[in-house]
Amino acid sequence: MKTSEIRKMNKEEINSKIIELKKELFDLRMKQATGNLDKPHKINALRKDVARLKTILTEKDGSEE
């Protein structure tokens, strides 16, 4: 997910996307624990997407004061 796409979203959309990605990340971790994970690089990509979303959410919170 690109930062330009995230910046176009509002706070509610960002929060819902974070929740969605965290659920997907949890599922991937469970697959990894059972040995059924096909693409382990997806875990790092999702973690970085969540961090990117949280960073931009913090920026939006700070700019509206």
User: What is the distance between the alpha carbons of residues 52 and 60, in angstroms, rounded to a whole number?
Assistant: 12
Contact 12, 48 (CB under 8 A): no
Q: Exposure of 33 by Cβ count < 10 A (0-12 exposed, 13-18 middle, 19+ buried)?
A: exposed
Q: Which of the four pLDDT bands, split at 50, 70 and 90, describes residue 65? A: low
First to last CA, the chain: 27
pTM: 0.88
pLDDT digits (tens, 9 = 90+) for 12-62: 999 999 999 999 999 999 999 999 999 999 999 999 999 999 999 999 988
DSSP, res 37: -
User: What is the distance between the alpha carbons of residues 18 and 34, in angstroms, rounded to a whole number?
Assistant: 25
